[in-house]
Amino acid sequence: MIANRSKHFLSIYDHTKESLLEIIDLAIKIKKETKNKEFKPYLKNKTLGMLFEKSSTRTRISFEVGIHQLGGQGLFLSSNDLQLGRGESMKDSARVMGRMLDMIMIRTFDQKVLDEFAEFSGVPVINGLTDKYHPVQLMADYLTMIEHNKANNPVVAYVGDGNNMTHSWMMLAGKLGFELRVATPKGYEPLKEVMDDAIELSQISGAKIVYTNDPKEAVRGADVVTTDTWVSMGQEDEKEKRIKDFKGFMVDSSLMSLAKKDAIFLHCLPAYRGYEVSEEIFEHFADVIFDEAENRLHAQKGIMVWLDKRCKDG
Ligand code: CP
Ligand code: NVA
């Protein structure tokens, strides 16, 4: 059992609304400083380990650049090159890394592996994506919503696969108390356990989270429309079947026309045009989408600085 989950960033669920908003405020402040070329060494001499068991472009670059700009250094660790890849246990790897690193970001398959790592490392652990959640992405997405004036009581429509991104949207909506409509094909709904957690959170925050198999119903009148790949990492063998099953779930101009006139479209990337999103919609919203990608850097700097302070406060 992890003694105190809020000393890590393993899921949105683990943090209070106040903490999440504190992290966002920190991210906004540090982003402003960075844009003014003020690089304050909030994490001077700290080393962030970045352990990857899956591919990454944004997560790797944003964490490495982020820790560097905060005065620390990043260490890229691929499981293929570590003894982990030859069978050393996660538990022992965590104990070794915790002795030498100040903070560790992990991208892995099973959320349980991440939890085990956090339990044994003794230092703050950040979820850089698991099959269940992608919480750092959601912090960047929310920052982007704020910057595009879409954070005030928004209606968000998620169209596509009920995956780690969907689950993370459910947790964010549940914590912050906004309306989220999730449209997936039959058989691709979010996990029942995450739906249960979302109900629990909604009862506290007043969030409205609804599920449908009709993308139009989800998008009608939405402020923010979002999607993700239909084939997540590790599901490559299911690609052909998924493409058939997701017919009608592409966010294209006809679907997007049902949203509010000034609605924005978000995508965590990588995007597969012609599948979950049309070329036209992707390019129309490219400025927002790449703000969102850049915000990975700023949001994660907020997370790292917040965790470091949280750690010092005990
Ligand atoms: N969105 C995201 O996490 O991208 P990467 O897989 O490239 O890190
Ligand atoms: N759902 C995707 C997100 C990629 C950032 C995956 O897990 O591959």
For the chain, list the domains and their CATH numbers: 5-134+295-313 (3.40.50.1370), 137-292 (3.40.50.1370)
Residue whose pair of structure tokens reads 């629990």 in the numeric block: 200
For every one of its 314 residues, what pLDDT tens digit does the chain have, with 9 covering 90 and above? 888 999 999 999 999 999 999 999 999 999 999 999 999 999 999 999 999 999 999 999 999 999 999 999 999 999 999 999 999 999 999 999 999 999 999 999 999 999 999 999 999 999 999 999 999 999 999 999 999 999 999 999 999 999 999 999 999 999 999 999 999 999 999 999 999 999 999 999 999 999 999 999 999 999 999 999 999 999 999 999 999 999 999 999 999 999 999 999 999 999 999 999 999 999 999 999 999 999 999 999 999 999 999 988 87
Q: From the centroid of its chain, how far is CA 140?
A: 7
Beta strands 155-159 and 224-227 are parallel
Burial class (CB in 10 A: 0-12, 13-18, 19+), 295: buried
* 268 C-beta closer than 6 A to ligand 2: yes
**CA 139–ligand 2 middle distance (angstroms):** 15
Task: Take atom 3 of ligand 1 and give the residue whose Cα is closest.
Answer: 59
Return the exposure string of 151-161: e unless at least 16 CB atoms fall within 10 Å of the residue's CB, then b.
beebbbbbbbb
**β-strands 47-52, 73-78 pairing:** parallel
Q: Is 229 in the pocket of ligand 2 (CB under 6 A)?
A: yes
For the CA atoms of the chain, what is the radius of gyration? 19
User: Which protein residue has the closest C-alpha to ligand 2 atom 6?
Assistant: 232
Residue matched to tokens 């927002």: 288
